[in-house]
């Protein structure tokens, strides 16, 4: 474990720093009747979180973990346990670099909503026709007797709202058997026939239902087109550097790569095995374009900073990224009566079935999954969350004014032991807050 040695000193110092940085109470703060500052978690209860996470590492549930939490006063929990790599790697640290995969989608969403605020994009207008796949989309109706895909024009245009809420019709093959069958059928065709089919058709008409997929990748391309600069540079100039998130990016420097955690894979036996370390591409082969839906690196510290900005209504330390009313929209149900449901895997080696709140109705805002019912011993109803393929997770609890991040590097996604550790962290944090 690695953390500041005296929790009382940590809490006191971080609260003072946060107060100085944040200044006045931010606009858009959720009022809580009869309550002033958020309660201070009890240090003895925080020590119980340490014990739980330490036990999770010892049991092989995770190879190592960085778990951080903050309220409006600043950092309230910092737990760092295990190692970056099981076969003798260095210990985890607060500045360990993780592959956070789909957790970049929230950053891309913020970038797009900034352009909405600037009236360069509109939520309820057809998206810019930067590609036929979104300008003139085709919907996969099914397959003929020979297995050939049958497509038709979409019955309505794709709106930015559809892309931001995963209701546009785009899917990932990883969680959609129909999409997987399409890509397999297309791959078997001769080149001339394959060229006539879109690489990314819609699985349904825009607005008809929810399906997790490549929608935010398209949002990233739209941000590039409207913002007039590459996505990585746009993030850097307008979000990451202003917030001091210097360890977050699509390409990491050698010094950051030296702090990178290895990905581990869960074997059939339940044990974890370290995957080969990533090799940095040669300079001449570095990518020139980046995805708004994945492929980014970050640290728990950086990502907590990003979450704290959202908790504070779009600003932190005197830097405003979004307006409070825009942040409020992000946390509201934007899909109406549509339900999220369970994401059924087509590749168990990469992901388990995904249902973070079994038996509970879940909605989608802009950038987040929303649980509509409180979690026993944990977050409030209306909390916001998502994660990344390698079992990195976050949540924002607007009611209790808590943000938290949990980072490890394990495949498959929604790994049972990793999720147990994540939920234990959550329950321990709320027990400490409620006892404070």
Annotated catalytic residues are 102, 105, 212
Q: How far apart are CA 25 and CA 22, in angstroms?
A: 7
- Residue 130 burial by CB count (10 A; 0-12/13-18/19+): exposed, middle or buried? middle
Cβ atoms of residues 429 and 41 within 8 Å: yes
DSSP state of 253: -
- Residue 255 burial by CB count (10 A; 0-12/13-18/19+): exposed, middle or buried? exposed
Q: How far apart are CA 94 and CA 84, in angstroms?
A: 11
What are the backbone dihedrals phi and psi of residue 98, each rounded to the nearest 5 degrees, phi first? -120, 150
Considering only CA atoms, which of 318, 321, 250 is closest in space to residue 99? 250
- Residue 43 burial by CB count (10 A; 0-12/13-18/19+): exposed, middle or buried? middle
Considering only CA atoms, which of 79, 15, 19 is closest in space to residue 45? 79
Q: How far apart are CA 328 and CA 155, in angstroms?
A: 31
Q: What angle do CA 153, 157, 160 make, to 5 degrees?
A: 140
Is the previous residue joined to 81 through a cis bond, with omega within 30 degrees of 0?
Answer: no
């Amino acid at each position: 474990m690695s953390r500041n040695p005296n929790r009382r000193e940590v809490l006191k110092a971080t609260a003072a720093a946060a107060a100085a940085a944040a200044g006045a109470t931010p606009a858009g703060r959720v009022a809580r009747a009869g309550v002033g500052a958020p309660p201070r978690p009890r240090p003895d209860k925080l020590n119980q979180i340490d014990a739980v996470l330490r036990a999770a590492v010892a049991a092989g549930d995770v190879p190592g973990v960085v778990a951080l939490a903050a309220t409006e006063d600043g950092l309230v929990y910092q737990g760092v346990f295990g190692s970056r790599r099981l076969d003798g790697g260095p210990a985890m640290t607060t500045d360990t670099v993780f592959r956070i995969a789909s957790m970049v989608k929230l950053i891309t969403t913020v970038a797009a909503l900034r352009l909405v605020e600037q009236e360069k994009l509109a939520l309820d207008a057809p998206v810019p026709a930067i590609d036929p796949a979104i300008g003139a989309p085709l919907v996969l109706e099914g397959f003929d007797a020979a297995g050939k895909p049958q497509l038709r024009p979409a019955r309505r245009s794709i709106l930015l709202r559809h892309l931001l809420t995963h209701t546009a019709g785009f899917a990932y093959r990883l969680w959609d058997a129909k999409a997987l069958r399409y890509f397999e059928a297309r791959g078997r065709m001769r080149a001339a026939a394959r060229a006539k089919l879109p690489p990314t058709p819609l699985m349904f008409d825009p607005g008809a239902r929810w399906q997790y997929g490549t929608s935010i990748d398209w949002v990233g391309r739209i941000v590039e087109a409207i913002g007039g600069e590459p996505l990585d540079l746009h993030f850097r100039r307008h979000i990451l550097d202003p917030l001091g998130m210097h360890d977050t990016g699509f390409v990491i420097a050698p010094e950051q790569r030296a702090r990178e955690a290895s990905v581990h894979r869960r074997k059939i036996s339940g044990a974890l095995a370290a995957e080969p370390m990533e090799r940095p591409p040669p300079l001449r082969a570095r990518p020139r374009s980046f995805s708004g839906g994945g492929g980014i690196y970050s640290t728990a510290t950086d990502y907590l900073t990003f979450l704290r900005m959202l908790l504070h209504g779009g600003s932190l330390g005197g830097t405003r990224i979004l307006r409070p009313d825009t942040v409020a929209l992000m946390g509201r149900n934007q899909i109406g009566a549509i339900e999220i449901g369970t994401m059924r895997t087509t590749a168990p080696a990469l992901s388990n079935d995904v249902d973070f709140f079994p038996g509970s109705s879940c909605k989608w805002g802009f950038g987040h999954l929303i649980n509509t019912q409180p979690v026993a011993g944990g977050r409030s109803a209306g909390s916001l969350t998502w994660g990344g393929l390698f079992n990195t997770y976050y949540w924002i609890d607007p009611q209790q004014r808590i943000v938290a991040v949990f980072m490890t590097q394990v495949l498959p996604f929604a790994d049972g032991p990793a999720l147990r550790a994540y939920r234990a962290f959550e329950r321990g944090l709320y027990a400490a807050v409620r006892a404070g």
